């Protein structure tokens, strides 16, 4: 790789990283201020609310929230303490755990969704 190509690649990485940090920061601030939710909490609730059956395997949330398995477990525990989700055993595999969104979790998600979408539109939509 030439020096010019390397510098271009690094610049693209830094631009992407800066944009992610800016969008994430705005989302985190607005969701926390207005709804008492962080970005990862919102993303977990969004995934659960979007499931046809309102639940998914705890392990599947790990991919959605981009956290380690142990950090996702702590996230689910926080959401459970707030009454936003419940854990349930998988009937076909007793080792499996489902996370189920509660009515309160669905309500909080629906209230926060417009804030989330407005922040995304503000930070990601570029004028044509």
Name, in order, each residue with C-beta under 8 angstroms of 71's C-beta and a sequence gap of 6 or more: none
What dotted CATH number matches 3-122?
1.10.10.10
Q: Residue ranges per domain, the chain?
A: 3-122
Mean confidence (pLDDT) of the chain: 90
Dump pLDDT digits (tens) for 34-61: 999 999 999 999 999 988 776 788 888 8
Dump pLDDT digits (tens) for 11-27: 999 999 999 999 999 99
- Tokens 């949330």 locate to 61
- Tokens 């922040």 locate to 119
Q: pTM of the predicted model, to two decimals?
A: 0.86
Q: In the structure, what pLDDT confidence band is assigned to residue 128 with cuts at 50, 70 and 90? A: very low
DSSP string for residues in the chain: --HHHHHHHHHHHHHHHHHHHHHHHHHHHHHHHHHS--HHHHHHHHHHHHSTTSEEEHHHHHHHHT--HHHHHHHHHHHHHTTSEEEEE-SS-TT-EEEEE-HHHHHHHHHHHHHHHHHHHHHHPPP-
């Amino acid at each position: 790789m030439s020096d010019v190509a390397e510098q271009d690649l690094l610049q693209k990485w830094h631009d992407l990283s800066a944009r992610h940090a800016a969008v994430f920061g705005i989302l985190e601030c607005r969701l926390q201020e207005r709804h008492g939710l962080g970005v990862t909490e919102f993303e977990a609730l969004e995934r659960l609310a979007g499931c046809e059956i309102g639940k998914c395997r705890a392990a599947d949330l790990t991919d959605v929230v981009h956290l380690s398995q142990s950090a996702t477990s702590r996230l689910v525990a926080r959401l459970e303490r707030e009454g936003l989700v419940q854990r349930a055993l998988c009937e076909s595999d007793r080792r499996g755990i489902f996370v189920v969104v509660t009515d309160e979790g669905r309500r909080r998600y629906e209230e926060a969704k417009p804030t989330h979408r407005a922040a995304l539109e503000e930070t990601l939509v570029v004028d044509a």
